[in-house]
Structure 1
Amino acid sequence: MLNRVNRVAVIGTGFVGSSYAFALLNQGIAEELVLIDLNAHKAEGDAMDLNHGLPFAPSYTKIWYGDYSECGKADIVVITAGANQKPAETRLDLVEKNTKIFKGIVEQILASGFDGIFLVATNPVDILTYAVWKFSGFPKERVIGSGTILDTARFRFLLGDYFNVDTRNVHAYIIGEHGDTELPVWSNANIAGTPITEWTKNREGYSRGDLNQIFLNVRDAAYHIIERKGATYYGIAMGLVRLTKALLENENSVLTVSAYLNGEYGHDDIYIGVPAIVNRNGIKQIVELDLNDQEKEKFAGSVQVLKNTMETVLKKY
């Protein structure tokens, strides 16, 4: 075990992949980081640029650009490759083009002898995570999507900002599709053990009516960012690094990832964003929140949207 080296392979060095690599280096989480991209010159340039920052990093990370054969010894393969979401385009609009891309990617990764954990970030992330699971034949515990990890972070940030409380002390989840049908779990949201709805009572300047607008800002955040700068990448990159740390360091942390449901929440045969305990083996356990009737109904609707979209695309493969 003393000689064990954690290797992370990143497939796709676009905005998200390169931001993830930069954040990973800054936190010193992996000993080895290999960058793989169809544009080898771009991957090589990123590797060079990141290496020049090593003197300022918290620990040494061996960084290089390579090809799919380098995945064979990787502990985690992070897939960020694929077509980007364009202005006015939904995440589900990307499903067909990216499913086709992913089939080829997974085949090449498997050819390397990879036997670690797949971490998927490309949109629509829930459907593409399901596709990776199907294409790879891996156990469901070792195929994980970024799910609503970023949506939950946005939710906690905006609630913390609204109530003037450190976002790290806000406990609230966004679950469901990483997209337009996601939902806030208000019934379980709290600050310091006090329900969020109670924080709006008897406090000047706060109202329950503002809470729905906060959620809408969370749900539509990607559209607002894409409209202004063309893409979102810093937030999701840091979310992926947080998940990578939890996996490599065997943390048993609870994070809202895209996980396979097999009866949990009353649904099955679907990857969707839910809280889950993650450790060195992948997803240890899905955490089933006690949803109220309205939340159950909305979650079921989110599941159905994903299943309807998957049915028309994945049957081609």
Structure 2
Amino acid sequence: MKVTIIGAGNVGASCADAISYRQIANEIVLLDIKEGFAEGKAMDMMQCATHTGFNSVIKGVTNDYSQTANSDVVVVTSGIPRKPGMTREELIDVNAKVVQSVMEQALDHSPEAVFVLVTNPLDSMAYWALKLTGLPKNRIIGMGGALDSARFRYFLAQKLQKPINDIEGMVIGGHGDTTMIPLIRFATYGGIPVEKFLSKEEQDEVVAATMVGGATLTKLLGTSAWYAPGASVAAVVDSILNDRKRIITCSVLVEGEYGANDLFIGVPCVLGKNGLEEIIDLKLNNIENEKFQKSVAAVHEMNQGLRKFLD
């Protein structure tokens, strides 16, 4: 199994690292436009193998898409990262051109690949990738909800003071600070709703912390986070390559689900060898549905920034 990661920056390299450590793929190609950058990171990671026990082969290349040929999954992390005070929406003009170049070249060499988009603004970039390529919707997946849900589980674990892997929780909606919807009603600790353990005030604090989780890290780090995004991408890739049928919230094309149409937005998805295999259409209550429809409207509005490219 072969995975290509376009962009050897922090997120791309962390993704390659997680995939190799977990031996999700036999071959990992890390590609970047900066001369020697991907090669250096690949070599550094490969020199970890003796001590960590993985046997995956990581290869770094500079802008040579022929080396990515016949990839099963292509991860797109290319583009400029979000800076402090910058919104994901402000990234559209620059990153739409980057995604177009990457998608055209990668698809030419891996016509059967599933594409996992990480570039921000993620929902719009995934939508743009689909419109640009004309691929079936199961082969274009935005990673966002997987990361937002991981952060949600972290904040729940912190508040509950319980093991994070005993906690389940998902975030739906757009991949943005004001558009994501942490579904506290569906969150559980050991299979028991967290509402049994947390007061309404504590639940609200967890939801608020989750919604600014990315911005909080950007403020602390001076740039976007990378460890959790990389691990989140690796989880998505693992479910696809190994046909695990895991339910992971991802940004995918909705066609009537949740009362929405013609946009990519975060919803719970079953991921397997065909990429997106099923959208789980949860029955939201009135408050949750109202929030989701506001998120839909916000993503539609953000997509207006793509009109110059779509027309």
Class of the TM-score when normalised by the shorter of the 2 chains: over 0.9
Q: What's the offset of the Cα at 1:57? A: 3.5
CA contact (8 A) 1:24 1:30 kept: yes
Q: Determine if the alignment matches structure 1 residue 74 to structure 2 residue 71.
A: yes
Q: What is aligned with 1:33?
A: 28
Q: What is aligned with 2:215?
A: 223
Q: 1:213 aligns with which of 205, 224, 228?
A: 205
Q: What's the offset of the Cα at 1:143? A: 0.6
Q: What is aligned with 2:146?
A: 149
Q: 1:117 aligns with which of 111, 114, 132?
A: 114
Q: Which runs of 5+ in 1 are unaligned?
A: 1-5, 201-206
The C-alpha deviation readout for 1:50-79, integer Å capped at 9, x for no partner, is: 121121343311221232122321000000
CA contact (8 A) 2:142 2:252 kept: yes
For residues 112 and 289 of structure 1, what CA distance do their matches in structure 2 show?
Answer: 37
CA contact (8 A) 1:147 1:257 kept: yes
Query: How many pairs were matched up?
Result: 306
What does residue range 75-154 of structure 1 map to in structure 2 within 5 Å? 75-154=72-151
The C-alpha deviation readout for 1:134-161, integer Å capped at 9, x for no partner, is: 1121110011110211111111111122
**In the alignment, residue 120 of structure 2 is paired with which amino acid?**
N
CA contact (8 A) 2:159 2:202 kept: no
For residues 132 and 125 of structure 1, what CA distance do their matches in structure 2 show?
Answer: 10
Q: What's the offset of the Cα at 1:113? A: 4.2
Q: What is aligned with 2:294?
A: 301
Query: Runs (4+) of structure 1 moved beyond 4 Å?
Result: none
CA contact (8 A) 2:184 2:203 kept: no
**In the alignment, residue 220 of structure 1 is paired with which amino acid?**
V
Identity %: 32
Q: 1:120 to 1:74 in 2, by over 3 A?
A: same
Q: 1:184 aligns with which of 182, 192, 200?
A: 182
For residues 242 and 312 of structure 1, what CA distance do their matches in structure 2 show?
Answer: 30
Q: What is aligned with 1:20?
A: 15
For residues 228 and 307 of structure 1, what CA distance do their matches in structure 2 show?
Answer: 30
Q: What secondary structure is seen at the aligned counterpart in 2 of 1:250? A: coil
The C-alpha deviation readout for 1:159-182, integer Å capped at 9, x for no partner, is: 122112222222221110111211
Q: What secondary structure is seen at the aligned counterpart in 1 of 2:309? A: coil
TM-score by length of 2: 0.94
CA contact (8 A) 1:27 1:58 kept: no
Give the CA RMSD over aligned residues.
Answer: 1.4
Q: 1:243 aligns with which of 215, 223, 236?
A: 236
For residues 137 and 176 of structure 1, what CA distance do their matches in structure 2 show?
Answer: 24
TM-score by length of 1: 0.93
CA contact (8 A) 2:107 2:113 kept: no
Q: What is aligned with 2:51?
A: 56
